[in-house]
Amino acid sequence: MRARERHGTVMAAGCLVLLGAMGSAQDKPEAKGPARHIQQERFWANLQKLSEFGKNPEGGVSRVGFTEADLAGRMYVMGLMREAGLTVRVDPAGNIFGRRAGMENLPVLLFGSHTDSVPHGGNFDGDVGTLGAIEVIHALNEAKVKTRHPLEVVSWTNEEGGRFYSGLFGSSAAAGILPADVAERKDDAGQKLSDWLMRMGGDASRIAAARIAPASVAGYLELHIEQGGRLDEANVPIGVVQGIVGINFRTCTATGFANHAGTTPMDRRQDALAAASRAVLAVREEVRGEPGRQVGTVGWMRIEPGASNVIPGRVVFPVEVRDLDAGKIEHVAARILQRFEVIGREENVQIDCTQPDLHPPALTTPAFQDAIRASAREAGLTTMDLPSGALHDAQNAARFAPMGMIFVPSRGGISHAPMEYSSPEQVANGAEVLYRTLLRVDETK
Ligand code: GLV
Ligand code: MN
Ligand code: MN
């Protein structure tokens, strides 16, 4: 059976499922517009259940990677995968895969996202793509659609980089780009990455085996919230991602001399916080120093010893620079380091930064962009092309497979915050486009 015919069958079956969920065909008028395969209510209910794991008082979640809340969320996701009939496995990097067999002996079509969050994060970043992928599997099962390719839903480990690594941990392992020392990393409390990986069903000593061979994946798709305000402002339901920014991330330490705040004259101080504060402003100045969409951020500071009557002797802070152009990231980051040297000399404070964790930018595959646009059109949804300023595991997947990303609107452009929100209809629109795009790619690859 040709996939396009399968598509027609699916639409009819999906329509019946939708009517079944809402009442009988006799007592309800037929829904307007193209048929839907996704069950919006089920998808939304699962998202709400996931938001119980690591729930925070502000209404979002703190489900930071490699924490108890993360482990609990992962268990919930594995249960959902099994309920959808997927065969579940966990690779040495803790990535969770749920497989559905295909009709032909072909490489897999991989799709999914992550379920870890930033501290005090929201309920949609990553969750929509992971649970949206599982919803697509339910819809395929209900419509009795068989695909040519095997399908794998993936939930990547520690996308946000809360602990031990800067971000995109699991997909970096899959792309074979984790730094050599990563398996030995410990946090400030002495907890080991390797112990957490073991609790997740992974194995730090075998992390190299998490690498995915290019020939084994026919394509990667990720559904995600936009996390910016462009779709919301333009009232467009579907974003077609053109590319994902790269990042240069370092941890820097300003080392001065901790001394008495009352007795040390102002011209004899080696104030690490004064130097670090100037460094934060220098990051902003250097990033703004040329035209373009590049951004740079210092997201936190640890001040030691941290007493009001002691001059700070040591300050630790991260510096990240992002852009779609790898060359621009490199030269802006280099200029920032030069500024730190000057500030260090002027303040009599040593500022040292680690070697960078680098995630290169990635462009999405044009054929996948076309498939997303055509699928949205078929579902009666308008689209906008846009870049992603947030990182995504998709940029690592682009190293081993053609890659595409679908965005849905984020209310007010708010993300990485408890008020992050996309409506039930908006996330279901995204999953519907994912469903249709997957079948298109299955047909043509
Ligand atoms: C992750 O969401 C990031 O953009 O850092
Ligand atoms: Mn995300
Ligand atoms: Mn995020």
Q: How many angstroms separate the CA atoms of 210 and 175, rounded?
A: 8
> Mind listing the pLDDT tens digit for each residue in 254-275?
999 999 999 999 999 999 999 9
Cβ burial of 181 (10 Å; 0-12, 13-18, 19+) is: exposed
pLDDT at 164: 85
Between β-strands 302-304 and 403-408, what pairing exists: parallel, antiparallel or unpaired? unpaired
Mutation test of ligand 1: which of 114, 125, 160 has the most ligand atoms closer than 8 Å to its C-beta?
Answer: 160
d(CA 244, CA 41): 31
Ligand 1 atom having least distance to the Cα of 160: 1
CA of 9 to the centre of ligand 3 (A): 37
Give the pLDDT score at 189: 87
Mutate to test the pocket of ligand 1, among 63, 392, 395 (most ligand atoms within 8 A of CB): 392
Tokens for 437, please give them: 């795009």
pLDDT in tens, 288-306: 999 999 999 999 999 999 9
> Whose CA is closest to 39, among 445, 439, 431?
431
Other residues' Cβ atoms within 10 Å of the Cβ of residue 419: 13
Name the DSSP class of 310. B
Query: Considering only CA atoms, which residue is closest to atom 4 of ligand 1?
Result: 390
Ligand 1 atom with the smallest distance to the CA of 389 is 4
Residue range 88-92: mean pLDDT, rounded: 98
User: Both tokens of residue 83?
Assistant: 């309920």
Instruction: Kindly tell me the burial class for residue 33, based on how many C-beta atoms sit within 10 Å of its own C-beta (0-12, 13-18, 19 or more).
Output: exposed
Which ligand is closest in space to the CA of residue 155? 2
108, β-bridge pairs: 217
Q: What is the C-alpha radius of gyration for the chain, rounded to an integer number of angstroms? A: 24
Please say whether the beta carbons of 162 and 66 come within 8 A.
yes
Task: Kindly give the distance from the C-alpha atom of residue 438 to the centroid of ligand 1, in angstroms, as a whole number.
Answer: 25
Compute the mean pLDDT over every residue in the chain, rounded to the nearest whole number: 92
pTM for this prediction:
0.88
Ligand 1 cavity residues, CB under 6 Å: 160, 167, 390-391
Among the residue ranges 31-45, 104-118, 223-237, 371-385, the one predicted with the least confidence is 31-45
Q: Which two tokens stand for residue 339?
A: 């500024």
- Residues near ion ligand 3 (CB < 5 Å) are 125
Q: What is the whole-number distance in angstroms between the Cα of residue 427 and the centre of ligand 2?
A: 14
C-alpha 396 – ligand 2 centre gap (Å): 13
Of the pLDDT bands very low, low, confident and very high (cuts 50, 70, 90), residue 378 is very high
CB 140, CB 133: distance < 8 Å: no
